[in-house]
Amino acid sequence: MAEPENHTLHLLREFREESRQFQGEVREFQGETRQALADVRGDIADLRGDLSEVRVRVGETNQHVDKLIQAVAGEIVKSRYATAAVDDRLTEIERRLAALEQTR
């Protein structure tokens, strides 16, 4: 049987080696985690840039829609004036026709 002192030294050496291995694994994991975090930060920066572009395009689209709404509203007003003129002419024709029918 091994002497207790040698056995204890042997166990302490094993613990030290396992501790070094564990520390190495932890450092490797920390490095991987830092790299992953840097990648995520880069992705977030890219997304922010994309979101800014989308916001600009949405703003431009809103401006185009507003212009189209104004144009359509203008055309509606024009068509109402044109329709009103036709209605006035039809009313006049109907009045004349009614007058002609009464004279017959």
Residues 77-88 have pLDDT tens digits of 999 888 888 888
70: left (phi over 0), alpha (psi -120 to 50) or beta: alpha
* CA-wise closest residue to 82 among 71, 92, 90: 90
Contacts of 18-24 with CB under 8 Å at 24 or more apart are: none
First to last CA, the chain: 144
Residues 46-104 have pLDDT tens digits of 999 999 999 999 999 999 999 999 999 999 999 988 888 888 889 999 999 998 889 87
Vertex 58 angle, CA 52 and 59, to 5°: 90
In angstroms, rounded to a whole number, what is the distance separating the alpha carbons of residues 18 and 12?
10
Confidence bin at 2 (pLDDT 50/70/90): low
